[in-house]
Amino acid sequence: MRMRDLRLDMFTNRGGTSCLQVARTLQQYLDGDLDDDTRAKVAGHLAVCRRCGLDEQAYREIKDALARRGGDLPEAPIDRLRAFAGELSGGDPPTSPTGDEA
């Protein structure tokens, strides 16, 4: 696939929602922090978009691994994960649970 096609594909609507919109809300979706309408749109998109479904699987695996580890995690790896998520979504990195910027 050519670079131009990849850029255009980021905005393709599948299941009523674009890949870019899903990328920006995927972590909130996994955390159950979306309203019912947005959650349904993201779920619909994930059901038909293989690439976003793979992103969801990767996020779930990371989240599950962190949950299994338990306890307090060092801030540096968490900050790197937040920065990586921000880069993937093309937006600002999410804030930490304490409200501090990552």
Q: What is the pLDDT along the chain (102 residues), one digit of tens a residue?
A: 444 444 445 456 766 678 888 888 998 999 899 999 999 989 988 988 898 999 999 989 988 887 887 767 778 877 887 787 777 666 554 454 444 443
pLDDT at res. 14? 65
Interhelix angle 19-31/36-48, nearest 10 degrees: 120
**Is 21 in contact with 28 (CB distance < 8 Å)?**
no
Which sign does the torsion angle of CA 9, 15, 18, 20 carry? negative
pLDDT at res. 39? 92
Output the pTM of the full model.
Answer: 0.59
pLDDT at res. 57? 93
